[in-house]
């Protein structure tokens, strides 16, 4: 879910949403998972947010996996040729149907 939401925000036309998602994705992808785990485990309590060890691990793994999945989904969407998108538009498909169905 986090990857899908981040992907939608990343390919959004709004510059604010797109850049915010870009900053999230790149900051997560550019740091090693172990550094993120240390940050969440030792850094969040110093900010006043105490979480259990299991919750901290789940949070770090979820955010890390979500950032990578967002890039995978974005690459898949942007790899669709323009001709296929134009064919779907000329067939009368709206945006959601174009994303859901493949043209044959």
Could you tell me the residue range of the domain that residue 95 belongs to? 2-100
Query: How many angstroms separate the CA atoms of 96 and 85, rounded?
Result: 12
CATH number at residue 86: 1.10.3720.10
pTM for the full predicted model: 0.77
Digit-coded pLDDT (tens) for 37-76: 999 999 888 888 888 889 999 999 999 999 999 999 999 8
CA angle, residues 64, 67, 69, in degrees to nearest 5: 105
Query: How many angstroms separate the CA atoms of 49 and 46, rounded?
Result: 7
pLDDT given for residue 77 in this prediction: 84
On whether the CB atoms of residues 68 and 44 are closer than 8 A, the answer is no
The tokens for 44 are 């969040």
The number of folded domains in the chain is 1
Identify which has the larger pLDDT, 102 or 11: 11
Residue 103: is its pLDDT beyond 60? no
């Amino acid at each position: 879910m986090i990857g899908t939401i981040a992907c939608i925000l990343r390919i959004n036309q709004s510059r604010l949403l797109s850049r915010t998602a870009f900053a999230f994705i790149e900051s997560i992808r550019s740091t090693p998972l172990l550094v993120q785990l240390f940050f969440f485990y030792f850094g969040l309590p110093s900010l006043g947010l105490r979480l259990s060890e299991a919750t901290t691990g789940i949070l770090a793994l979820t955010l890390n996996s979500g950032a990578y999945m967002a890039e995978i989904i974005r690459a898949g969407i942007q790899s669709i040729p323009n001709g296929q998108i134009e064919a779907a538009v000329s067939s009368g498909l709206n945006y959601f149907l174009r994303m859901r169905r493949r043209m044959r």
